[in-house]
Amino acid sequence: MVKLVVAYGQPEDPAGFDEHYVSRHIPLVEKIPNLRRFESGKVVGTPDGSAPPFYYLAELSFDDVEQLQAAMGSPEGEAAGADVATFASGGATLMIAQT
C-alpha cells in the first residue's frame, strides 16, 4: 500500500480551516478514484508538550504508486489538490510513503 500524507502547517484562521476542511475539502477527497482509505485528524499535541510542527494531518491510501499518480492526476484529484490552496494558509507538506 502507498499513502499520500498531507501535513498542514498552522493556518492563519484555524476555525476557518476547520470549517472548510469538513464542509468542502473532505467531500472533494472522497470523490478521488481508487482511494482505498482516507483518514485525517487535528494535531492535538506532542508527548513532551513541545509545540507540534503541524496543525492537521491527512493520509490518502492507494494500492500502489501508479494508482496514486493516476488518482491525483484525475479531474477529481486535481480538484481536491486545487482546493488545498484555498484554505491551507499555513502551507501543506506532501509526502508519499510506501507501507
Residues binding its own copies (CB under 8 A): 2-5, 39-48, 52-54, 57, 65, 72, 93-99
Nearer to its own copies, 23 or 98 (CB): 98
Least distance from its own copies to the Cβ atom of residue 33, Å:
16
Interatomic CA distance for residues 91 and 88, integer angstroms: 5
Least distance from its own copies to the Cβ atom of residue 24, Å:
19
SS3 for 15?
helix
Nearer to its own copies, 56 or 87 (CB): 56
Q: Find the farthest-apart pair of alpha carbons in the chain and give their distance in angstroms, rounded.
A: 42
Nearer to its own copies, 89 or 92 (CB): 92
* Buried/exposed 71-95: b ≥16 CB within 10 Å, e otherwise: bbeeebbeebbebbeebbbbebeee
Least distance from its own copies to the Cβ atom of residue 14, Å:
14
